[in-house]
Structures are given as C-alpha cells and as structure tokens.
C-alpha cells in the first residue's frame, strides 16, 4: 500500500455519510477529528502546530511564520455529501510532499476553516479572517442552521488579520480539479472566475392551500420558481454559470401557501462584467415577476469574489518545472484565491477524470494523487 493510500485510508471514514459523501462541517465533530489527525501527522514529523486564533490550523517545519516560509495545505470542511478529495487531498498531499523535501526547508501546512461556507454561509472564512478581508465581529456573529455562531463554535472572538502572513514567501495549494479540462495528471491554475452567492428572500402571503382561490394568491414559490428558470436561461446566454441549489420554505407545509421562500443564487462568470450583467438581469426579471405575483424580493450579497489572476510568472515557472504542465482557469473558489492578494500564490490541480465535484461521485486515481504529491514536493523544494 502506498504512503498516500495509507494516509487516505486513515481519514476516509471520518465524516462519511450513508450517501458515500461527507458531512465535514467546520468545527463539528468530524472536522475536529480531522484536526486531531492533522496534529498527529505534524507530531510524526516534529512539526510545530499553531492556531491563528481564527480557526485555521498550521503545522510548521522551522519557526512558525518564519520569513521565507512557503505555505501549502487546503481545507477539511466539505459541502453536504461532498466528495472526500475537495480540500483534504491538499492537506494529505502536503504532509507527504514535506517528507520528500530536505528537512532544513521552511514549510508551513495549513488547514483553513470553513472554506466551503457550508456551515456559516461565508466561503473561505478562515483565509478571509487571516488576511483581514472580513471583520472578526461580523465573522463571529455568523450563525449555522441551528443558530450557533461562529464565535461560539470557535470559543472566542476571532483574532482577525495576522500580520505574519506578510512574512510568507509563497503559497501553493494543491486541489483536485473541479472540471473536465485537465487531461494530464497535474495542472497549474491561471485564474479563478469571479463568483458570488446572493440570498434571495421572496415574501408573499401565507394562506390555506385548499380554500384560497388562485386569483387571490400571493405565492412566493411562483416568483422563486420563475427566478430559478431565469437564472439558468440567463447564464446559458452569457456563457456563465448560475445555480440555485439551496432553498428554505416557510412554513414548508404541504397544505399551506408559503409566506416566505428563501433561495440562494450561486453565480460565476469568466469576467466581472459578465457576472454583474448576469446577476443584474436575474434580479431585474425576478423583480418584474414579483410585481406580477404580488410578492416582494429582498437580496443579500453573502459573499462576492472578484477575479483572481494568479501570478503569471510563478504559474509559468511551475508549469516549466512540471514538464510543461497545462495552465488553466477554474470556476471554483479557493483559499489560495483569497491569499493571492497578499502573497505570491499558485495552485496545482490533480486530474479529476469525470470532473464531478461537490458530490459523493468525486474521485481521483491513486496514481494521479501520487503524481500530485511528487509535483508539490518538486515545487516546494524549488520555492524554498
Ligand atoms: O464553491 C466553491 O467554489 C469551492 O468549492 N468552495
Ligand atoms: Mn469545494
Ligand atoms: Mn475546495
Ligand atoms: Mn386545516
């Protein structure tokens, strides 16, 4: 059994649901167990473990945050019933890559908290706190579906921005590719599409399903349904991506016309202008439909990320180092995207044969994962 297969087998059962997907929400029992595994892996390598006060965990070869350190790693948390590779592959690969780099090199391995935004609603929460992109009090007040705040889950007010990030020489995050473009085992990221998530509250008049005439209704489910179809249509026209995969209904009863339908729009496009046009046209058409249905729409931008163009010279240098590994963009957000505004940053992608992600069907072959580890070790040795 390869070193990778051995470590992979250690974490595979942690947080796995009957669906075969994972329920690894930030700071919940499965993710806390993975943090214990992280600490044990660091101890095996005599690496110092620190926490930045924001819920991000670090293992250091050399002094924590020492100037010139190269930071790698990713996240443990998953979307509900997501695949096991999205996030953890970058952390397992980091430990195995460190084993292949001379021991005197200064390397940090990070496990960033709440990358998916699957519990508290804001993606890349940990890296945004670390770099000062989000206010610690706003982050602390974010709540999960049970009303537990991030501050309560963390057990403290988040520390917020840490100036030590300025001492990091480079960041390299390895991640399974979430798409079908990569035909070689390893690729290098060029950019992350601008993307965001908006909460859309459609408010109507709750009433009895059996006694309310169709002409007397103010049904927000109609406005929501129209908006879902509009977002899909507008995205196809714009060559962009739009998804409304999460919805909450009140009172959510078979025999009651809803009073409120809360849906989330996830929209992404290759450039900011296209994204702005897409979201603008969805909101415009949803508002028109609301007027027709006698409902109202309230929009809340939960998180919006501009385009991330990774350091071109660094990407080309790594591509050349990795036998001309292809350089490609991604529509998926990553902590590396947040960090790239503060530190020279690169991403390595490991081939995903089906491209499927955020699904139990997500998979990468052991051979390709092994190639990713080798590539990460090569890059870490080169950059340190
Ligand atoms: O949703 C994303 O883009 C990433 O997988 N967090
Ligand atoms: Mn993801
Ligand atoms: Mn991810
Ligand atoms: Mn009744």
Q: Which ligand is nearest to the CA of 78?
A: 2
Locate the ligand 1 atom nearest the alpha carbon of residue 358 and give its number: 5
Whether the per-residue pLDDT at 85 is higher than 90: the answer is yes
CA distance linking residue 23 with residue 150, whole number of Å? 17
Ligand 1 pocket residue status of 114, Cβ below 6 Å: no
CA distance linking residue 204 with residue 138, whole number of Å? 29
CA distance linking residue 235 with residue 46, whole number of Å? 50
Cα 358 to middle of ligand 2, angstroms: 6
Locate the ligand 1 atom nearest the alpha carbon of residue 123 and give its number: 6
What interhelical angle do 88-98 and 366-383 show, nearest 10?
60
Whether the per-residue pLDDT at 358 is higher than 90: the answer is yes
CA distance linking residue 377 with residue 367, whole number of Å? 15
The structural domains of the chain, with segments of one domain joined by +, span 3-193+307-383, 195-305
Contacts of 183 (CB under 8 A, 6+ apart): 326, 351
Ligand 1 pocket residue status of 87, Cβ below 6 Å: no
CA distance linking residue 158 with residue 15, whole number of Å? 25
Encode pLDDT of 112-161 as tens digits.
Answer: 999 999 999 999 999 999 999 999 999 999 999 999 999 999 999 999 99
Query: How far is the CA of 12 from the CAs of 16, 20, 291, 365, in angstroms?
Result: 7, 10, 50, 14
Cα 212 to middle of ligand 1, angstroms: 42
Please tell me the CATH superfamily of domain 3-193+307-383, with its number: Zn peptidases (3.40.630.10)
CA neighbours closer than 13 Å in the CB half-sphere of residue 148: 11
Ligand 1 pocket residue status of 362, Cβ below 6 Å: no
Locate the ligand 1 atom nearest the alpha carbon of residue 116 and give its number: 6
The token pair that represents 14 in the structure block: 């942690």
3-state SS, one letter per residue, for the chain: CCHHHHHHHHHCCCCECCCCCECCCCCCHHHHHHHHHHHHHHHHCCCEEEECCCCCEEEEECCCCCCCCEEEEEECCCCCCECCCCCHHHHHHHHHHHCCCCCCCCEEEEEECCCCCCCCCCCCHHHHHHCCCCCHHHHHHCECCCCCEHHHHHCCCCCCCCHHHHHCCEEEEEEECCCCCCCCCEEEEEEECCEEEEEEEEECCCEECCCCCHHHCCCHHHHHHHHHHHHHHHHHHHCCEEEEEEEEEECCCCCEECCEEEEEEEEECCCHHHHHHHHHHHHHHHHHHHHHHCCEEEEEEEEEECCEECCHHHHHHHHHHCCCCCEEEECCCCHHHHHCCCCCEEEEEECCCCCCCCCCCCCCCHHHHHHHHHHHHHHHHHHC
Ligand 1 pocket residue status of 115, Cβ below 6 Å: yes
ipTM for the assembly: 0.90
Is domain 195-305 given the CATH code 3.30.70.360 in the classification?
yes
276 band by pLDDT with thresholds 50, 70 and 90: very high
pLDDT attached to residue 1: 87
pLDDT attached to residue 293: 98
pLDDT attached to residue 124: 98
Protein residue whose Cα sits closest to atom 6 of ligand 1: 116
Residue 165 CB neighbour total at 10 angstroms: 18
CB-based contacts of 154-158 (< 8 A; 24+ apart in sequence): 154/27, 154/54, 154/55, 156/53, 158/53, 158/54, 158/55, 158/129
pTM assigned to the model:
0.96
Determine the average pLDDT of the residues in 234-249: 98
Ligand 1 pocket residue status of 370, Cβ below 6 Å: no
Radius of gyration of the chain (CA): 22
Ligand 1 pocket residue status of 335, Cβ below 6 Å: no
Cα 206 to middle of ligand 4, angstroms: 13
> What share of the chain has pLDDT > 90, as a percent?
100
Cα 232 to middle of ligand 3, angstroms: 24
Ligand 1 pocket residue status of 372, Cβ below 6 Å: no
Encode pLDDT of 172-227 as tens digits.
Answer: 999 999 999 999 999 999 999 999 999 999 999 999 999 999 999 999 999 999 99
Encode pLDDT of 56-79 as tens digits.
Answer: 999 999 999 999 999 999 999 999
Residues 128-142 as b/e (b if ≥16 CB within 10 A, e otherwise) read bbbbebbebeebbeb
Mean pLDDT of the chain: 98
Cα 116 to middle of ligand 2, angstroms: 6
Residue 241 CB neighbour total at 10 angstroms: 19
Whether the per-residue pLDDT at 289 is higher than 90: the answer is yes
Locate the ligand 1 atom nearest the alpha carbon of residue 86 and give its number: 5
Which residues have C-beta under 5 Å from ligand 3, the single-atom ion?
A: 86-87
Of the candidates 101, 74, 130, the one whose C-alpha atom is nearest the C-alpha of residue 375 is 101
For residue 297, the Cα-to-chain-centroid distance in whole angstroms is 27
> What share of the chain has pLDDT > 70, as a percent?
100
């Amino acid at each position: 059994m390869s070193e990778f297969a051995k470590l992979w087998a250690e974490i595979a059962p942690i947080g796995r649901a009957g669906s075969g997907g994972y329920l690894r929400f930030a700071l919940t029992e499965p993710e806390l167990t993975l943090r214990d595994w992280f600490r044990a892996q660091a101890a095996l390598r005599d690496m110092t473990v620190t926490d930045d006060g924001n819920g991000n965990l670090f293992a250091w070869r050399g002094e924590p945050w020492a100037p010139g350190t190269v930071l790698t790693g990713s996240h443990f948390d998953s979307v509900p019933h997501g695949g096991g590779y999205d996030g953890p592959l970058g952390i397992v690969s980091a430990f195995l890559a460190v084993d292949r780099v001379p021991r005197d090199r200064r390397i940090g391995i990070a496990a960033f908290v709440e990358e998916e935004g699957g519990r508290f609603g804001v993606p890349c929460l940990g890296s945004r706190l670390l770099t000062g992109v989000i206010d610690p009090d706003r982050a602390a007040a974010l709540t999960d579906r049970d009303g537990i705040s991030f501050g309560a889950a963390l057990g403290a007010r988040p520390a917020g921005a840490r100036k030590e990030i300025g001492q990091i020489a480079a960041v390299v995050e390895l991640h399974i590719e979430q798409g079908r473009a990569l035909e070689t085992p390893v690729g290098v990221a060029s950019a992350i599409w601008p993307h965001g998530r908006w909460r859309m509250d459609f408010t109507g008049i709750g009433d009895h399903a059996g006694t309310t005439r169709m002409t007397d209704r103010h049904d927000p489910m109609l406005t929501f349904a129209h908006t879902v179809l509009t977002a899909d249509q507008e995205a196809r026209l714009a060559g962009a991506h739009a998804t409304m995969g999460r919805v909450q209904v009140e009172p959510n009863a078979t025999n009651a016309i809803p009073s409120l339908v809360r849906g989330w729009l996830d929209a992404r496009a290759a450039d900011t202008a296209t994204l702005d046009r897409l979201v603008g046209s969805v909101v415009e058409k949803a508002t028109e439909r609301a007027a027709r249905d006698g409902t109202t729409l309230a929009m809340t931008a939960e998180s919006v990320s501009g385009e991330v163009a990774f350091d071109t010279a660094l990407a080309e240098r790594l591509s050349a180092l990795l036998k001309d590994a292809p350089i490609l963009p991604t529509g998926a957000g990553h902590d590396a995207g947040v960090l790239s505004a503060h530190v020279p940053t690169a991403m390595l992608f490991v081939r995903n044969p089906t491209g499927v992600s955020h699904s139990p069907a997500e998979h990468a072959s052991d051979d390709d994962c092994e190639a990713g580890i080798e590539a990460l070790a090569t890059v870490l040795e080169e950059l340190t």
